[in-house]
A and B are shown apart, each in its own frame.
Chain A
Amino acid sequence: MNFLLVLAPILTLAAGGVVLMMLDAFQKEDGQLAMPTALLHFVAAAAALALWQRGIPADGAALVAPWLTVDRTGLFLAAVISVGGALASLLAGGYLAEHKMDRGEYYPLVAFSSAGAIMLAQSGDTLTLFLGLETMSLGVYALTGFRRSSARSAEAALKYFLLGSFAAALLLFGAALLYAVTGHTDYAGIAQGLRPTAELPSDLVARAAEETLRAVHTRISIFAMVLILVGLAFKIGAVPFHMWTPDAYEGAPTSTTAYMSVVVKAAAFGAFMRIMLTVFGDVGSASGTAGWPAILAWIAVLTMTVGNLMALTQTSVKRMLAYSSIAHAGYILLGVLTAPRDGVGVTAQASVLFYLAGYAVTNVGVFAALALAGRRGAEAVSFDDLAGYARRHPAAGFALAFFLLSLTGIPPTVGFFAKFYVVRATLDAGYTTLAIIAMLNSAVSAYYYLGVLVKMYMREPSPGAAQAAPNKSFYIVFTILVSAALVLHMGMSPGRWLGLATEAVTPAAAPTAAP
């Protein structure tokens, strides 16, 4: 029965989603499912933590083995996903009620998507990678289009769906080509198959044939690697595959935007790091697919720079946050691409996990604070809407300012240490130029984050314009308080959290770094 134990976080969320559907069918009035959904996510997080504390049963992990990798990295990501999902569903409880679209189907979709996200983060086989990705994404597409009366919401869902499915098809074709070359769908098997092992035959004709075959295989596997890289780059919103991100973030209900930027990002990055390091991690070898860190370096530089430059020009806060999330994806990519370097693997991977956790709590907080500023019929989305907001409503204004400072990377918030650890890993790996570009970008980003603060504290709204006022939602306030506490705690004692992240990657590092 131990395989049930190791699957506990996924099973909790999947079974809980079914229960939520039943609850929704039998409840008299809408809008009481936010709390049960949040509790469900917290139970899943607790299950992941309990597994971490008491040790993962080896026989259970072996039973699910090639399909799902239940190791500490997976549990760490499962906990981040669950806590992020819990906070996002609490936020939904306040936001959806305020905007009169609190229909019950939102919450089962969240639960199923989170189950898919954990599956994606723990996947050890291209089949579970695909299944987790789709289970997560199909739910999120529906959540994006949840505001059915809004053409913007429908358009966001349409764009997200089309590009997401296209990306999934690219990823699948990559998996299919790898299967054709290696005969395996599990990561370890593919990695094994990509390494040229057998001696070339001595017979000249057979030798020539074998050499031709190997050359073809190398080409196909490089093509497959690029397809998988592009497919996952779509999901994490890396430039030049980011086109859907600002549209989907802007058009989706704010609670869905928070969910997307936290859960989807953490899961996709977890899967991305695992597949790149396990399958193509043999950077030193001549297996032909070893060139990905160089490709990724270019993507990371583009992602940071384009994300930040585009964010500078935005007038909508939500859209600005979307571009900022692209820029943050660029910083995280630095950690991923330095991981295969000798000697920095553990620090780099730990910095990625730390960044994902810190970014998750910060981003839920910032979207919650933004949702708090909006009332029914008057959502505060543009910079101008927020003029004078913090002077009229100091507490609510300060909440938004606090999370924006964390995104900027100002101590003692977690944002500072998240960037610090990633840049340090990049420097340790010897990529000085990349580290400098990241720091320059971080300086640029301060301009637009602080621009919101300037609006809130130093500008008055133009006469006659609608004035943003916070709604009195208990759910949203609670979400803000919990995420603010986490942001502060992670910022005050970052060493402890980094220690956890290091512990998460250390035992897994041996099979991960050198498969």
Chain B
Amino acid sequence: MIIHLGHYMALSCVLFSIGAAGFLFRRNVLISLMSIELMMNAVNLTFIAANRWQSAVPSADGTAAPVIPHHGHIFTFFVIAVAAAEAAVGLAIVLAFYRLRKTVRTDAADMLRG
């Protein structure tokens, strides 16, 4: 069996759906953070796999051999870096919340409503 782009896409859709479902149905903030991370990783997988199936384009000056653009790969690095920054801010917020409420469950976040 030949693995091609469709398989990777299906896998990343499944991963993304698991992440989204986890985010929507679990009540623990840390699990929510993990779910978001999983969604980001599904994105990364899509980008890397799609980049692998890119066709080569003529090089910029037209003299050298055609090159394969690396936009997907570069995008992945940015996603990884930003996800790390996001986790840092997110965990800081979770810590602040935990200090005041002594819990990390989202159903405890019920002071603001209406």
Q: Which residues of A contact B (CB under 8 A)?
A: 126-127, 130-131, 134, 138, 141-142, 145, 148-152, 154-159, 161-162, 165-166, 168-170, 172-173, 175-177, 179-180, 183-185, 220, 246-247, 250-251, 313-316, 319
Contact = CB atoms under 8 A, between A and B. Distances in A.
B47 A138 contact: no
B114 A127 contact: no
Nearest to A151: B100
A184 B74 CA distance: 12
A82 B20 CA distance: 35
Contacts of A184: 71
Contacts of A127: 71, 74-75, 78
**Among B23, B29, B47, B112: residue with most chain A CB under 10 A:** B112
Contacts of B112: 152, 155-156, 159, 246-247, 250-251
Given A138-B86, A172-B79, 20 more contacts: A130-B82, A134-B82, A138-B89, A149-B100, A151-B101, A155-B111, A158-B94, A158-B109, A162-B106, A165-B86, A166-B23, A166-B39, A173-B46, A176-B46, A176-B47, A176-B50, A184-B71, A185-B72, A185-B75, A316-B114
Contacts of A157: 93, 96-97
A290 to B, nearest CB: 23
Given A165-B90, A180-B5, A185 B71 contact: yes
Given A169-B40, A173-B16, A183-B54, A134 B85 contact: yes
Interface in B1-50: 5, 9, 12, 16, 19-20, 23, 29, 32, 36, 39-40, 42-43, 46-47, 49-50
Tell me whether chain B's interface is mostly helix, strand or loop, or mixed. helix
Contacts of B85: 134, 138
A154 B93 contact: yes
Contacts of B82: 130-131, 134
Given A130-B82, A158-B94, A165-B86, A183 B50 contact: yes
A8 B94 CA distance: 36
Ranked 5 nearest A-B pairs via Cβ: A180-B50, A176-B46, A169-B39, A247-B112, A151-B100
Given A148-B96, A165-B36, A184-B71, A134 B86 contact: yes
A58 B71 CA distance: 25
B49 to A, nearest CB: 8
Contact of A159 (B46, B51, B109): B109
A179 B9 CA distance: 12
Interface in B42-87: 42-43, 46-47, 49-51, 54-55, 69, 71-72, 74-75, 78-79, 82, 85-86
Given A138-B86, A173-B42, A314 B114 contact: yes
Contacts of B89: 138, 141-142, 161
A246 B111 CA distance: 12
A95 to B, nearest CB: 19
A145 B96 contact: yes
A150 B113 CA distance: 16
Contacts of B46: 173, 176-177, 179-180
Contacts of A158: 29, 93-94, 97, 106, 109
B26 to A, nearest CB: 11
Nearest to A166: B23
Nearest to B12: A176
A166 B38 CA distance: 11
